[in-house]
Chains A and B, each alone.
Chain A
Amino acid sequence: MSQVATSSTRTTGHSDSHLAYQNQYVSFLLDGQLLGIPVRSVQEVLNPQTIANTPRSRNEIAGLLNLRGQIVTAVNLRKRMGLADKGPEDEYMNVVVIGDGESFSLLVDEVGDVMNIPSEKIEAVPSTLDPTWKSVTVGVSQLEDRLLIILDVDAVLDFV
């Protein structure tokens, strides 16, 4: 639980609605696995976008997209998590997140609901988890029919 508390110290400028969003997570699918990130970290969700290639950049970087004149770096989350690529990068959904004052778009397969998960329902990361996954995960929650893995946005973006 302490991990969740730490991650909630990040501010996104919505301090007044801080409490209301405290336990909410945007869920999305990546290679069949349900993942979630705190709603506070999410700026918006976009349909597939045109992504400009950035040759010679790191493999995980899909490219850049133009978000109303703002340039956003797109991170291919499948590659970041060590999964096989799905196909052309302009077919992914975009979860635009704010990390360290800059916007990034996480490319995911499908975006799901916003879920309300009380902090007591979040369990520690299983120690057997793949090291790459473990390094970006803050907790796991058992939903009725499946597991939700909660990611730490800052850790996801920290791969350079």
Chain B
Amino acid sequence: MDDELLQEFLAESWEMMARLDNEIVLLEKDPSSEELIASIFRAIHTVKGTCGFIGLEKIGKVSHSTENVLGKMRDRELEIVPDSISLVLEGIDRVKELMEGLEATSAEPDVDSSELIERLDALANSGGVTEEVAADDLDAQIEAARLATLARIEEEKAAKEASPVEAEAPVAVPEVATPVIEEKKTVAPVVNKPSQSATKNASGEKEAGAGHSVVADLTIRVNVNVLDTLMNLVGELVLTRNQLIQLSRLDEESRYAAPITHLNRVTTDLQEGVMKTRMQPIGNAWNKLPRLVRDLSQVTGHKIELEMNGADTELDRTVLEAIRDPLTHMVRNSADHGIESPEMRKSLGKNEAGLLKLDAFHEGGHVIIEIQDDGAGINTEKVLAKAIANGVVSEQEAGSMRQNEVLNLIFNAGLSTSEQVSSVSGRGVGMDVVKTQIEQIGGAVELQSEMGAGTTVRIKIPLTLAIVSALIVKSGGEIFAIPQLGVMELVRVAAEDRSRIERIHDKEVFRLRDKLLPLVYLNDVLGLEDLENREEIDVNIAVVQVGDQQFGLVVNEVFDTEEIVVKPMGSLLKDVEIYQGTTILGDGQVIMILDLAGIAAQFVTDSTASSIDDSEKTTSGIELTRMLMFDVGNGSMMSVPLSLISRLEEIPQDKIETSGGQSVVQYQGGLIPLLGADGASWTGEVPDPQPVIVFSEGVQSMGLMVEEIQDIIEEELSIQMQSNRPGVLGSAIIGEKAVEVIDTQHYVIKANPDWFSQTSEVKSSHVLVIDESLFFRHLVATTIESDGYSVKTVATIDEAVLCLDKDDQFQTIIADVDSLGEGLEEFLATVKSKTGYENVSLISLSGNVNGNHEARALAAGFDRHLVKFNAKQLVGAIQEVNDRVKTVGASA
């Protein structure tokens, strides 16, 4: 018998028994209380269920018969009178008695309960005991019932013997376990030795009992506290050993050298031995899952086949305890949300029974647990919609999110994608808790999902929490430990290659295999002074992964990887989030163990950490944009799409005047305001003549003063990082470099605060822009908003339809035909069919210059087709089509 399982069963059952006593007594006083009787029934039912599950036949039988009586009482088929209550109490007492024996010997005591069971069954089958029933009658009834019961028992026995394997399909916990869970009423009992149970019959029970006592002789039960104390002592010993080794290295001739070497070996063995005593197979955390899945399959009506591999993979018990809840939750999620109903599965051509697979294995000092289902997968669109609805992400962010980013939203609080909230899951507090719990023990959760094919959750956890492998580093003159689990790789950038480290505003980033890795200097994190000149030395970067964030932690020196004993921090340091503990090095020095999650939370902002992947495209098709690159001072490069620029000018400094605190210049017969780029500071002299980028809208213009115009580059443009900084739309990789793209609208408004009030009254036309690319949505919106239109942007046709469904009235719809793809014609038909949209003007945009796009767009019903992206042309086109539509409308 699985010891832990037994202990849990006993603890749980004692609790219930204690409650039962009270409640039954209360019931006797108040026989009409349905609540009470239901509660009693549930308790005894739970005990019975667990007994069946872990193969405690005797307790199971007694509780079963007791439950039957209670069931009849609950259904009011049996009157609640003192006599029957007494019998129920007798049944409960017997269960207790058996449990006591079980607790003492770890095996069910050899007590014959058949007589009691007969009486209970007789009562249950009697259809009611009334006070008028004479004693003789009762006896006769009992006798009749007894015979009936005996006959039934014989029948059952015969059935069992005929197909013993089916009746008692063994679930061998340490071995590969594949219980098929269907809507069977019987629960397969767990037994240790499948071969034994296959031939098991009534007399086999004693054999099993004998087997247990043999096992009991070989094992002893040890209090966990003893093991914990041992572990702590071993930790101390390891530290002292390290110290001794350090000392003996100083003096190689020492006569202590040999004994120290021996001590070293013994300590290592002892450490391993003690660790082993704390190791438990992961099966211990899994052993409740078959029952859970069975229950879930009954509640949800889903057919689920549970497959568990690697149940004997061992873990430290503290880790095991920590993953128990998250594991249960994830299995629950898969069974409830993941796997579809049998009918649905059938119609999809899948096996009616869904497969829920658990795998556990060791991998590089960690334990990997995979929970895999072949269900519906996660609907990323739903997740995204929900995330937007709950304000977890903004619509803008959503537009540029990638598949895996969307999947990771699941780990946010308050997201549950099931439309129906069931009793099983769907409270939406699950996955964020799961993630937190796993991360608390230094683990990581990954999620993979494919619509229609299923979901795989991969959990990586350390083997033990007490002794961890850590990277010892130096920063700001002090030594720190970084838990190895979070370190993906180490990168050393030679001083002469420093140009690979680029700057985006004041943040440094490093290009690591097509990804922009935000850099965080450890000495900045610690508030320590950088002892060395950053520019002149090699840069050591520990590439660190926290959840889905990746960043580079820059340290001065990297020493070794060491096995360190984690010691708790003092209570006074608990509020410092960048540490997770302390340790003592071989030389007795105390160092801090860094908490990577804490550092990420405090020092890595979302916008810098979202890992940026060049290889993935946010837009379909390749769109080339001509970008003007310019230097805004301090060597900081920025860029702007050339199409937004009116002119480039060089203005002599003496022509620049100041008017009301604002630099202005006389330009083409009028005054235009001049502004410098935000956040840019001039190094050295003010350039003369002053290069100015002029943006014009209608009669209004403004000039952006820059230090130097650098280049014009034609590039595929995708904004890779959003920016919260005013004046910056985001950053993009242009010409192999990360460059910020300015937000022209910001400067235009800044230079002419009353710009909008002047123009917006002229046209109150409402424009809907559909474009998959976030950048172009911004760009188009910026352009036409500054021309006085009110703009709504959406990323997909579905969203567009939603917008149309609301009471918004759009006069113009601008759509990117590249991203609309096949649904184009259908969409236009939908639009035209809506009331109020018969005369809407339609403009299509395409990044492709090939002629067939235009033909196709016009054929589909667009009024105008434009090539991306010419601001003036677009504004002109909107004006034109609106005028035309108005004329048509007027003449119609």
Query: Taking beta carbons and an 8 Å cutoff, which residues of A are in contact with B?
Result: 50, 52-58, 61, 63-66, 69, 71-73, 75, 100, 102, 104, 157, 160
Contact = CB atoms under 8 A, between A and B. Distances in A.
A137 B527 CA distance: 33
Interface of B: 236, 239-240, 476, 478, 525-528, 567-576, 578-579, 582, 584, 588-592
Contacts of A69: 236, 239-240, 584
B588 A56 contact: no
Contacts of A54: 573, 576, 579, 592
A155 to B, nearest CB: 14
A102 B591 CA distance: 19
Contact of B527 (A56, A72, A102, A157): A56
B572 A160 contact: yes
A127 to B, nearest CB: 29
A73 B590 contact: no
Contact of A71 (B574, B575, B582): B582
Contact of A58 (B572, B579, B592): B572
Contacts of A100: 571
What 3 A-B pairs come out closest when comparing CB atoms? A73-B570, A55-B526, A52-B590
Contacts of A71: 567-570, 582, 584, 590
A87 B569 CA distance: 25
A50 B589 contact: yes
A36 to B, nearest CB: 22
Nearest to B577: A56
Contacts of B528: 55
Contact of B572 (A52, A55, A61, A65): A61
Given A55-B527, A56-B526, A71-B582, A61 B588 contact: no
A50 to B, nearest CB: 7
A57 B590 contact: no
Given A54-B576, A55-B528, A71-B582, A66 B236 contact: no
Contacts of B569: 71, 73
Contact of B589 (A52, A55, A104): A52
Contact of B573 (A57, A65, A157): A57
A149 B354 CA distance: 74
24 contacts: A52-B591, A54-B592, A55-B476, A55-B527, A56-B525, A56-B526, A56-B578, A57-B576, A58-B572, A63-B590, A64-B582, A66-B589, A66-B590, A69-B240, A69-B584, A71-B569, A71-B582, A73-B571, A73-B572, A73-B573, A100-B571, A102-B571, A104-B570, A160-B572
B572 A157 contact: yes
A61 B584 CA distance: 18
A95 to B, nearest CB: 16
A40 B525 CA distance: 40
A64 B478 CA distance: 13
Nearest to A50: B589
A160 to B, nearest CB: 6
B597 to A, nearest CB: 15
A65 B590 contact: yes
Contacts of A72: 570
A50 B591 CA distance: 12
A57 B478 contact: no
Contacts of A73: 569-573
Contacts of A63: 590
A47 to B, nearest CB: 15
A71 B582 CA distance: 8
A72 B590 CA distance: 10
Contacts of B574: 160
A71 B567 CA distance: 8
B524 to A, nearest CB: 11
A123 B753 CA distance: 70
A44 to B, nearest CB: 17
B576 A56 contact: yes
Contacts of A57: 572-573, 576
Given A52-B589, A54-B576, 19 more contacts: A52-B590, A54-B592, A55-B526, A55-B527, A57-B572, A57-B573, A58-B572, A58-B575, A66-B584, A69-B236, A69-B239, A71-B567, A71-B569, A71-B570, A72-B570, A73-B569, A102-B571, A160-B571, A160-B575
Contacts of B578: 56
Contacts of B579: 54
A102 to B, nearest CB: 6
B255 to A, nearest CB: 25
A50 B588 CA distance: 10
Contacts of A160: 571-572, 574-575
A8 to B, nearest CB: 23
A73 to B, nearest CB: 3
A71 B568 CA distance: 8
